[in-house]
Structure 1
Amino acid sequence: MSQAKTLSENEIQQVLNCVGEKKFGVRDRALVLISHYSGMRVGEIASLTVGHVLDINEKIKSEIRLTAEQTKGKHPRTVFVSSKLKAELANYIQTIRVDDKERALFTTQKSPRRGFTANTLTQHFLNIYKAAGIDGASSHSGRRTYATTIASQGVGLRVLMRLMGHRNVSTTAVYIDANDNMLRNAVELV
């Protein structure tokens, strides 16, 4: 099985332009960007509630704390929320009910309180990328793009490993695509 496509900035913009024209564009934009800006797995995103992202003052938190039950490896972890992601979540949060902190962050028409399951969200991401004309992209593309983007900025593999929620650095290394810009920048270090 081939790995999910790592998206370029232009391809991410192409996806955002496409979802912006849809009925649930604000939600889908937030879904795409939480994937690309946090590196969370699709199951982790599907498990988020309003209370995971909003503090008691209804401001976006700087950290999302995932329980062991929410993570693939059954180890709790902290997801750090960048200023870009905070802005996107703040925009999205204005469009949903926030009075129930246990309510799903990303709701569906069929199940507004529970929201997406990991499987339905996986299919939803496939449909989003297909509609945008991005071949080879899947629900894991955001995670791979996140890892590659951070690595291209020179962040060490051990730091990236912690951000990704991995227990082994060799697992993290598989996520990073060495693109031409990274290679160009690397040779300039000599």
Structure 2
Amino acid sequence: MSQAKTLTERELRRVLDYCALTRHAARNRVMVLLTFYAGLRVSEVAALKYSNVVAPDNTIKSEFRLTAEQTKGGHARTVFISEKLRKELAAYVKTLKRHEQELLPLFRTQKRDGFTANTLCQHFHLLYRRAGVVGASSHSGRRTFITNLAAKGVGVRVLAALAGHRNPATTMVYIDASDDMKRAAVQLI
């Protein structure tokens, strides 16, 4: 099985531009951005609850805890949210009706059910295809997140912790060594 495609800024922009044209534009945009800006797996995005990201005072948390049931490996972890992503989440949360939100999934389908990992994976595939981004998968945002941080000099142990990997060797597989990264590396000598 091949690696998920790492997206360029231009390709991400195309996906976000397409999301803006969809019926659930705010929802689709923030689901995509959670994979690109926080490195969440699609299954983790699907498992998010309103109370995971919204504090009791109705502000967006700067970090939140995923329970073991919400993660792939069955190990709870903390997700750190950048200011940029917090603003995106706040804009999305404003579109939601307030009635009993804390008990519901953060992202719901048109039928008002929460997404399953499988349906959200298919939804991402459709978003990428309709945006014209060839070769992208539901894992592309996560791989792009890890690769971009590695290119900025973030160490593999920190990357592993952010990704929720228990073994840094797993994280190494995600890092795409682009020609630009290689050019910059040889200039360090």
Do the structures match in fold with TM over 0.5?
yes
Deviation string, structure 1 residues 56-75 (Cα, Å, up to 9, x no partner):
10000011200011111111
Contact conserved, 1:5 with 1:138, CA < 8 A, in 2?
Answer: yes
- Equivalent positions of 1:108-187 (< 5 A) are 108-110=109-111, 112=112, 114-187=113-186
RMSD over equivalenced CA pairs, Å: 0.9
Residue 88 (structure 1) aligned with residue 72 (structure 2): no
Unaligned runs of 5+ residues in structure 1 are: none
Once residues 98 and 78 of structure 1 are traced to their aligned partners in structure 2, the CA distance between those partners, rounded to angstroms, is 25
Once residues 119 and 64 of structure 2 are traced to their aligned partners in structure 1, the CA distance between those partners, rounded to angstroms, is 22
Once residues 97 and 59 of structure 1 are traced to their aligned partners in structure 2, the CA distance between those partners, rounded to angstroms, is 15
- Matched to 1:80, the amino acid is F
Once residues 77 and 58 of structure 2 are traced to their aligned partners in structure 1, the CA distance between those partners, rounded to angstroms, is 22
Q: What SS does the aligned partner of 1:183 have? A: helix
Please list every run of at least 4 consecutive aligned residues from structure 1 whose deviation after the TM superposition is greater than 6 angstroms: none
Once residues 116 and 143 of structure 2 are traced to their aligned partners in structure 1, the CA distance between those partners, rounded to angstroms, is 21
* Percent identity (aligned): 55
Contact conserved, 1:50 with 1:98, CA < 8 A, in 2?
Answer: no
Unaligned runs of 5+ residues in structure 2 are: none
Q: What SS does the aligned partner of 2:103 have? A: coil
Instruction: Name the counterpart of 2:2.
Output: 2
Q: What SS does the aligned partner of 1:174 have? A: helix
Once residues 157 and 178 of structure 2 are traced to their aligned partners in structure 1, the CA distance between those partners, rounded to angstroms, is 20
TM-score by length of 1: 0.96
TM-score by length of 2: 0.97
Once residues 173 and 43 of structure 2 are traced to their aligned partners in structure 1, the CA distance between those partners, rounded to angstroms, is 20
Deviation string, structure 1 residues 97-154 (Cα, Å, up to 9, x no partner):
24420211111112x2x41010000000000000001111111011000000110100
